[in-house]
Amino acid sequence: MNTLLLEPHNGVLHITLNRPANRNAMSLEMVNELRAVLAQLDSQVRALVISGAGGHFCAGADVKDMVTAGGKAQLQALNRAFGTLLQAVEAVPQVVIVVLQGAVLGGGFGLACVSDIAIADHKAQFGLPETSLGLLPAQIAPFVVKRIGLTQARRLALTAARFDGVEAQRLGVVHFAESDAQALAERLDEVLGQVLQCAPGANGRTKALLLASADEPLEAVLDRGAQWFAEAVTGVEGIEGTQAFVQKRKPRWCK
């Protein structure tokens, strides 16, 4: 990987966006490498932790890619590739955790919005600067709306307003805003400890049901939920979990 650092540990894959000289701006190469990593995930990976090198998460799209992309068709394909990445990050069965410092702008903001759990430094800088550059947050917009609602998404996108981690928590972009690097690390450890208490298969299907509830008819989601519940009760994880409860021990998936 040229743009990512990968560190697997104890069922968790730590992914560091590694273009610190560009505040980890999202190049097409980085998009493709992230998509390749996601495509190769297996059941041994229970959580992803995405962070950025050099004190920043991601400052948005790499302008150099846009300048060298060529005509409209190439620009359209370049832009849509990022949307495909966001769809892939949102859909993986693993729990996706982002640790946000420094710049969380444009594409970085979009990546934060498709995470399951977001932890931010209280001084991190969030925003959708695209319209101030004469551009559109074209691929990010639907995910921002899903995260914080239409009215706040409209305000942020149409003003390019910047805000810090405390405001990001108030808006619902992030779940935790921490005071310093040590507090960030401690919160991450706490969250990972909680995630690893949960059965990975149950987490994956629960995540799929939650995401489906935003888009699919209620009847279909409830029918699928009933089917998956029955399969869970009679499946390996359900049997192990109930036996562990009765025997007053931790189930085998606990780390």
Span 24-67, pLDDT tens digits: 999 999 999 999 999 999 999 999 999 999 999 999 988 888 77
Confidence of residue 68 (pLDDT cuts 50, 70, 90): confident
Over residues 1-14, the mean pLDDT reads 96
156 shares a domain with 110: yes
Task: Tell whether 78 and 91 lie within a shared domain.
Answer: yes
Domain presence at residue 252: no
Task: Give the pTM.
Answer: 0.95
Within-domain flag for 255? no
Is residue 210 classed exposed, middle or buried when 0-12, 13-18 and 19+ CB atoms within 10 A define those classes?
Answer: exposed
Name the E strands within the chain. 4-9, 12-17, 47-52, 95-100, 103-105, 117-121, 125-127, 162-163, 176-178
The model's pLDDT over 73-107, given as tens digits with 9 standing for 90+, comes to 989 999 999 999 999 999 999 999 999 999 999 99
β pairing state of 117-121 and 103-105: unpaired
What Å distances lie between residue 178 and 4, 55, 100, 107, 170, CA to CA?
25, 15, 10, 22, 13
**Distance, CA of 92 to CA of 40 (rounded, Å):** 11
Q: What value does the mean pLDDT of the chain take?
A: 96
How does pLDDT run across 209-222, given as a tens digit for each residue?
999 999 899 999 99
Q: What is the pLDDT of residue 84?
A: 97
Which pair of structure tokens corresponds to residue 164? 């810090």
CATH code of 17's domain: 3.90.226.10
Would residue 253 count as lying in a domain?
Answer: no
Max Cα separation, the chain? 65
Q: Distance between CA atoms of 195 and 254, rounded to whole angstroms? A: 9
- The parent domain of residue 234 ranges over 200-246
Same domain, 189 and 214: no
Same domain flag for 191 and 79: yes
Q: What is the pLDDT of residues 129-165, one digit of tens each?
A: 999 999 999 999 999 999 999 999 999 999 999 999 9
Residue 100 lies in a domain: yes
**Burial class for 34, CB neighbours closer than 10 Å (0-12, 13-18, 19+):** buried
Q: What would the mean pLDDT of 178-186 be, rounded to a whole number? A: 96
Phi, psi at 103, each rounded to 5°: -75, 125
Do 17 and 118 fall into the same domain? yes
Instruction: Judge whether residue 15 has pLDDT over 80.
Output: yes
What percentage of residues in the chain have a pLDDT greater than 70? Answer: 100
> Would strands 12-17 and 4-9 be described as parallel, antiparallel, or unpaired?
antiparallel
**Does residue 41 lie within any of the structural domains?**
yes
My answer on whether 100 and 219 are in the same domain is no
SS3 161: coil
CA atoms within 13 A of residue 154's CA, in its CB half-sphere: 3
Report the domain count for the chain. Answer: 2
220 and 175 within one domain: no
DSSP bridge partners of 97: 49, 117
Same domain, 220 and 179: no
* Alpha carbon distance 58, 180 (integer Å): 18
Classify residue 238: in a domain, yes or no. Answer: yes
Q: Please indicate, yes or no, if residue 251 is contained in any of the structural domains.
A: no
Residues 184 and 207 both lie in one domain: no
Report yes or no: 97 and 190 within 8 Å, Cβ to Cβ.
no
Residue 29 domain-assigned? yes
For residues 147 and 59, membership in a common domain is answered with yes
Q: Do 120 and 40 share a structural domain?
A: yes
CA 149 to chain centre: 17
Question: At residue 23, what are phi and psi to the nearest 5 degrees?
Answer: 50, 35
What is the per-residue DSSP string for 52-116? EGGG-SB-SB-HHHHHHS-SHHHHHHHHHHHHHHHHHHHH-SSEEEEEE-SEEETHHHHHHHT-S
Upper half-sphere CA count for residue 108 (Cβ side, 13 Å): 30
Instruction: Looking at the structure, tell me whether residues 62 and 179 fall in a common domain.
Output: yes
Binned at pLDDT 50, 70 and 90, residue 227 comes out as very high
